[in-house]
Structure 1
Amino acid sequence: MLGFQPLPSDVVKAVDPQLEIVNRNLEAYYDAWDRFVNSWIIIKIKDPSYVYQWRLQVLDFVSRYLPAYKAYLPTLYSEGPRNFVKERLLIVDIDKERNPI
């Protein structure tokens, strides 16, 4: 949502009524971008439906890492990183929807 500008409510409702809350949130923080972002790069696409294919490509990319996760995560979870300081380690368990448990 970075860089998106809030739009009139009727415009977003015409696309998808669920965007109303997104639009309200954009209104709440839109001015912050001017304070914190000095430069922008906009990557322009011809058709937003391209994103579907790109997400599938990400799925393929991520699936290549799953064997490493299966191999290395059990030790990371049981022993922690090498040479870590226990007082400087925070482990956050999350569920399938990325919510903290």
Structure 2
Amino acid sequence: MMDILLLVLLYLGYLLLTLLGVLTHFLKKKVKGQTKADIKLYFNSHFNDTLIMVIAALVMFGSAAAASELGITSAFLIGYTADSLFNKTAEDKE
């Protein structure tokens, strides 16, 4: 029972790292001036793209976990890459 609890906590930690990757990509765009939107507007103004990004990140996360390739770096990069590929603002599409 304790092993299962530790495994769940480990994967929750990896999910938090994936979220950190998403937020880091937003911060990079903000610092470089690639977006003028605040964080709430960035994720809410184009809900369909954000939803696709979340689904893609979960699929990549699950694939890496199933292949036993999920680690600290890969969890972070999954979030960063998913946001980079799928989460496009109106500014990006122009």
Range of TM-score over shorter length:
under 0.3
Which structure has the larger Rg?
A: 1
Give the TM-score normalised by the residue count of structure 1.
0.25
Structure with more of its chain in helix, by fraction: 2
- Highest RCO, 1 vs 2 (Cα 8 Å, sep ≥ 6): 2
Give the TM-score normalised by the residue count of structure 2.
0.26
